[in-house]
A and B are shown apart, each in its own frame.
Chain A
Amino acid sequence: AQTVTQSQPEMSVQEAETVTLSCTYDTSESDYYLFWYKQPPSRQMILVIRQEAYKQQNATENRFSVNFQKAAKSFSLKISDSQLGDAAMYFCAYRTYNNNDMRFGAGTRLTVKP
């Protein structure tokens, strides 16, 4: 079974600084998707960034970028120029191409200090 591990229950960052959230996963598949979702307090979960496993190039979305290491099964999220609005729970998720079951990590709570 595929599992997703987020080893950092909580992280904090100073406003305007950079922070990296870690995620590792376990799979025997070669084709899959990886996602980072953001869940602000009492608000709905929204997609931050996604990566297709066949792509070697790391995905970027404005201030958000990933470091995808397929051999190491690692998928970290880097947030540059952190803003107060980035404070939220961040979930790493995995899904194979054929299996519709999305597996989520336990989440990392990010605090942004002004």
Chain B
Amino acid sequence: EAGVAQSPRYKIIEKRQSVAFWCNPISGHATLYWYQQILGQGPKLLIQFQNNGVVDDSQLPKDRFSAERLKGVDSTLKIQPAKLEDSAVYLCASRPGTGAGGETQYFGPGTRLLVL
């Protein structure tokens, strides 16, 4: 079974530029999460999707961050415009949601963003 895929793996941009990250969850996983992991900290939830609907985006800085999961499969996370403090690893995770072990989240390799 293929894992959660993310691209790009690394991105360097200048402040005020835009950037987009892509995530392909494990096949059949209805729930998808985007996390921000700042160096030296644990991941912090940005947004959660259930199929193509948003379940929780309370910690998403909506003035600059946006995310979508139009067909309930792949998802994109965008930052526009980026700030220095957005430098972090952006993790995508997915969860089956049903059955034994359905509560476990499976993580992708992350996209490491550096804003200069």
Count CB-based A-B contacts (< 8 Å).
45
In the complex, A55 has a CB within 8 A of chain B: no
Q: Is the CB of B48 within 8 A of A47?
A: no
Chain A, residues 71-114, CB within 8 Å of chain B (1/0): the string is: 00000000000000000000101010000111011110000000
Taking CB atoms, residues of chain B closer than 8 Å to A47 are 104-106
Contact between A102 and B107 (Cβ–Cβ < 8 Å)? no
A33 and B107: CB pair below 8 A? no
Task: Name A's interface SS.
Answer: strand
How far, in Å, is A32 (CB) from chain B's closest CB?
A: 10
B: contact size bracket: 20 to 34
Whether A107 and B104, one on each chain, are in contact in the complex, defined by CB atoms closer than 8 angstroms, is no
With known contacts A100-B31, A101-B48, A44–B109 Cβ distance under 8 A: yes
Option from B48, B56, B107 in Cβ contact (under 8 Å) with A44: B107
Q: How many residues of A contact B (CB 8 A)?
A: 20
Q: B99 within 8 Å of A by Cβ?
A: no
Do A46 and B107 form a contact, CB below 8 Å, given A100-B55, A100-B56?
A: yes
User: Are the C-beta atoms of B40 and A106 separated by less than 8 Å?
Assistant: yes
Among all A-B residue pairs, the 9 with the closest Cβ atoms: A104-B42, A45-B107, A44-B109, A104-B43, A91-B42, A44-B107, A33-B103, A106-B42, A101-B45
